[in-house]
Structure 1
Amino acid sequence: MATPDAPLTIVADIGGTNTRVALARGGAVLPDSLRHVRNAGRAGLEPILADYLAGMDGARPDLCCVAVAGPIRDGQAMMTNLDWHMSEASLARATGAGRAILLNDLQAQGHALGHVDPGRIRAVVDGPVVADAPMLVVGLGTGVNAAPVHGTGVARVVLPSECGHVTLPVTCEDDFALARFIESLPPEPGRTRRASVEEALSGRGLANIHGFLAARAGVTAAGDSHAIIHALAMGDALARASVAMQVRLLGQVLGDLALIHMPYGGIFLIGGMARALAPFADQFGLAATFRAPRWIDLLEHAFRVSVIEDDNAALLGCAVRAALG
Structure 2
Amino acid sequence: MKLLREPLVHFFLAGAALFAAYAFVARTPTQATDSQHQVRIGEADVRWAAETWTRQWQRSPSPEELRGLVRDILREEVLAREAHELGLDKDDAVVRRRLAQKMTFMIEDTSGSAEPSDEELQQFYRTHDQEFRREARVSFTQVFFDRARAGADAEARRTLVELVGASDATLVADKGDQLLIEPEVRDADEGSVAAQFGKDFARAVFALPPGTWNGPIESAYGLHLVRVSAITPAEQQPFPEVRDRVLEEWREVRRQEADKRYFNELFKKYQIVIDDSVKALVGSPETDLE
TM-score (norm 2): 0.20
TM-score (norm 1): 0.19
- Name which one, 1 or 2, has greater alpha-carbon Rg: 2
Taking CA–CA contacts closer than 8 Å with sequence separation of 6 or more, which of the two structures ends up with the larger relative contact order? 1
